[in-house]
Amino acid sequence: MKLPKARKRGETYRIELMFNGKRISATRDTEKECEQWAMLKLLELKTEQSKNIKEEKQHYPVSALMYKYYEEIGKHKKSSRSIRISIKQFIDTYSALSEMSVHDITPQILTDWRNTRLKTVSVGTVLRDISLFSAIFTYAQKELFLIDSNPFSIVSKPSQPKSRNRRINAHEIDLVLKAHDYNHGQTPTEIKHFIAWAFLFAIETTMRQGEILSIQRSNIFEDYIHLPDTKNGDSRDVPLMAGAKELLKLIPNNGSDNLLNISSSTFQNTFSKKLKKANIKEMHFHDTRHEGITRLVKLRKVPIEILMKITGHKTAGILINTYYNPTASEISAMLNESN
């Protein structure tokens, strides 16, 4: 706002301001004093106006924002299940925080939440939570226009944990199959059998759990499976080696185009329970991808550029540093083979 000029009246100066339709004036001995008064007065009025606007903002609970985000955006994403679980966990565990108004959430409050959360879960889980909740507050800022800025934008993230390098050995494979009451070469007839079958198929193909559950019979060809929609948004063709082809022959045709009729939640819950039953520690289904990729290099000598096409990785760095996990003994054997 441009300051008006002070006007001389006799031995003094007078200056007038217009703010929100109201006229405010003051008289001072000099023109400079009038200008200083006007600048301070404007600052005072604007500060008071901002305070009043903030006080007038309607209470909008964080929980309501999270539910709205899920309904409008989250449930349409591939990760909808994990988004729903994370939101429910936050609301159930941090009820006081979830009922605060989005207008009252500050970076300090979120930093305190982050530190509390780190005491009970892994760094990776906290990083995923921060990423999701930051997206929710960005939605509140840029789509709903509820807030002027995202308070997560200046919250420091904990350091990234080291990438998992979990391999799966032959004994553990036998334990997984036994826990699911399944044998090599068996035709699956129960949900637990299909899950054990998918475990073996993932090692053979390096496919993700979600990709296996999404396989359509119409996309299975003689020597590859076409995945029209993968995690990174692109389609991918997964070549089928002999072991994978033999496994596919075991699945009975039930008349549905879906190869497996199992929901993601049922799959994950059953697999987790069976691992616990088998007393297998620190194994995730996704570790089959580590094992499968490492085997492709070790046994098949697949070069990195071909491996990227099989797995769908866009950068070699992530593939090599995260998923290719040879042991020191395996590296030694490969080096000696080349001599």
Q: What's the CATH number where 242 sits? A: 1.10.443.10
Mean pLDDT of 181-185: 96
pLDDT for 53 beyond 80:
no
What pLDDT is recorded for position 165? 72
Domain range for 16: 7-56
**pLDDT tens for each residue of 232-244:** 777 889 999 999 9
The answer on 326 and 217 residing in a single domain is yes
Mean pLDDT of 312-335: 64
The answer on 230 and 306 residing in a single domain is yes
pLDDT class for 54, splitting at 50, 70, 90?
low
Q: Which of 38, 56, 74 is the last residue of a domain?
A: 56
pLDDT class for 98, splitting at 50, 70, 90?
very high
pLDDT class for 323, splitting at 50, 70, 90?
low
Q: What angle do CA 329, 330, 333 make, to 5 degrees?
A: 90
Q: What's the CATH number where 130 sits? A: 1.10.150
pLDDT for 322 beyond 60:
no
User: How far is 53 from 218, CA to CA, in rounded Å?
Assistant: 59
pLDDT for 96 beyond 90:
yes
The answer on 199 and 101 residing in a single domain is no
Mean pLDDT of 117-144: 94
**pLDDT tens for each residue of 173-182:** 999 999 999 9
Residue with tokens 């879906």: 258
The answer on 182 and 107 residing in a single domain is no
What pLDDT is recorded for position 327? 67
The answer on 314 and 200 residing in a single domain is yes
Ranges 205-214, 247-256, 283-292, 298-307: which has the least confidence: 298-307
For residues 137 and 147, is the Cβ–Cβ distance under 8 A? yes
First to last CA, the chain: 79
Q: Does the residue 72 lie in any domain?
A: yes
The answer on 177 and 148 residing in a single domain is no
Output the average pLDDT for the chain.
87
Listing DSSP states for 224-235 in one string gives EEEESS-TTSS-
pLDDT for 33 beyond 80:
yes
